[in-house]
Amino acid sequence: MSKPLLEVQHLRVEFPTRRGTLLALDDVSFDIAPGEILGVVGESGAGKSLTGAAIIGLLEPPGRVAGGQILLAGQLIDDLPPDEMRKIRGRRIGAIFQDPLTSLNPLYTVGRQLIETIQVHLGLNADQARQRAIQLLADTGIPAAEQRIDQYPHQFSGGMRQRVVIALALAAEPELIVADEPTTALDVSIQAQIIALLKKLTKGDPQAAASRQPPPEGGRPASSGRAPSGHGAAVMLVTHDMGVIAEACDRVAVMYAGRVVEIGPVAEVIHHPAHPYTVGLMGSIPSMEHERERLMQIDGAMPRLTAIPAGCAFNPRCPQAFDRCRRERPDLLPAGATRAACWLHAAPAEVVA
């Protein structure tokens, strides 16, 4: 078994205010292996984007990591000085954001932005950096890359701008890619292309993969932790779209009110959800196989950070809540092929307690 590339352990993020300290992320834990895509899904305000921002060191002040650890290939990165974190961000961690216009400078050509990033992180000369930039644009599906490299962001369509952002994220061959809603603003056909591109970049070239030594029986492929030639990186894909999760991801973590409430293989979470909140999410998606007069809805709304209820944060909206749910907060418990933070999956003696 290869070690996880990213390990998030009991992450806690707080926002100090004049009225007290708001707890935005509470005891969030997960890991991602090289070449794996972990989807992070949940309603707006669940803490998905905040988790990604904490990992890449871009929490907005006064937000701070108040507890837990974030390790990249075994190195603790959550308490690094800003200058040290800046060297890791871009070089070892790439970021793809929802709106490419916020990631691209409208005053510079896409080529200048790519070349500058490559030179900063890889130390190539101008000609070498330009050739690599052209290759990155071509690899991410931009036609006539040699001509388009000298164009400005406004001369690209939304889907093409997102491809440029992906090229920027991959410029230094990062080990980890944090993709925050990379397909939300795109039409369905472009979404499919971006998903296919992410899968290609993380899974690598099938022919090259076939030539590598097979993994030990029952284990993950051995990995040095580096992404070879832009392939084999770990990806954290933040989205609220379960269709994107189903198509792109290997595993999925469902978040609610700043906590992971269920995590497991994507097929199991989608077809056999174990947490009542996940059941509600799945039930709210139209099915192509079964006719229903109306979709399931989850009554109520996500609690505010100033009013998170005692016990399980989902208990006011949960149709299966009982007394213990209102008193004690559950940790992630084994629930078949997944793990769910729900007392329904506690041992019978514990449920009666």
Q: 250-308, pLDDT tens digit by residue?
A: 999 999 999 999 999 999 999 999 999 999 988 877 766 777 777 778 889 999 988 99
| Residue 303 preceded by cis peptide, ω within 30 | no
* Residue 226's pLDDT band (cuts 50, 70, 90): very low
* Confidence check: pLDDT of 211 > 80: no
Place of tokens 């952002």: 165
Judged against a pLDDT cut of 70, whether residue 212 lies above it is answered with no
Output the pLDDT for position 39: 96
**In the beta sheet, which residues pair with residue 93?**
89, 176
* Dihedral sign computed on CA atoms, order 245, 250, 254, 255: negative
Among 223-227, 245-249, 300-304, 342-346, the range scoring the smallest mean pLDDT is: 223-227
- Residue that is written with structure tokens 């580096």 in the block: 226
Are 28 and 258 within 8 A, CB to CB? Answer: yes
Distance CA 201, CA 207 (A): 14
pLDDT at 350: 55
State pLDDT tens for residues 65-88.
Answer: 999 999 999 999 998 999 999 889
The SS3 assignment for 76 reads strand
| Distance of alpha carbon 166 from the chain centroid | 14
φ, ψ of residue 138 to 5 degrees: the values are -65, -40
Name the residue ranges covered by the structural domains of the chain.
Answer: 6-92+172-212+225-276
DSSP string, 167-198: HHHHTT--SEEEEESTTTTS-HHHHHHHHHHH
Render pLDDT for 143-156 as a digit per residue (tens, 0 to 9). Answer: 999 999 999 999 99
DSSP-derived letter for residue 345 is: G
* Section 166-187 average pLDDT: 87
CB of 93 closer than 8 Å to CB of 6: no
Between 215 and 10, the more confident residue is 10
Q: How many angstroms separate the CA atoms of 92 and 176, rounded? A: 6
Percent of the chain with pLDDT over 70: 88
> Rounded to whole angstroms, what are the CA distances from 17 to 14, 21, 48, 59, 304?
10, 6, 21, 15, 14
> What is the spatial distance between Cα 271 and Cα 59, in angstroms, rounded to a whole number?
34
- Residue 1 has a pLDDT of 47
Q: Show the beta-strand stretches assigned E in the chain.
A: 6-17, 20-32, 37-41, 64-72, 75-76, 93-96, 176-180, 234-238, 251-256, 259-265, 333-335, 338-340
Position 231 confidence tier, pLDDT thresholds 50, 70, 90: low
Using only C-alpha atoms, what is the Rg of the chain? 21
- pLDDT tens track for 18-43: 888 999 999 999 999 999 999 999 98
| Token output for 26 | 């509470």
Q: How confident is the model at residue 173 (pLDDT cuts 50, 70, 90)?
A: confident
Higher pLDDT, 225 or 351: 351
Instruction: Please give the pLDDT value at position 213.
Output: 37
Per-residue pLDDT for 184 more than 80? no
As beta bridge partners, residue 252 has 39, 264
More confident residue, 6 or 191: 6
Q: Mean of the per-residue pLDDT values for the chain?
A: 86
6-92+172-212+225-276 CATH, one of 3.40.190.10, 3.40.1670.10, 3.40.50.300, 3.30.420.40: 3.40.50.300
Q: Give yes or no for a contact between 40 and 249, defined as CB atoms under 8 angstroms apart.
A: no
Question: What are the tokens at 248?
Answer: 């792109």
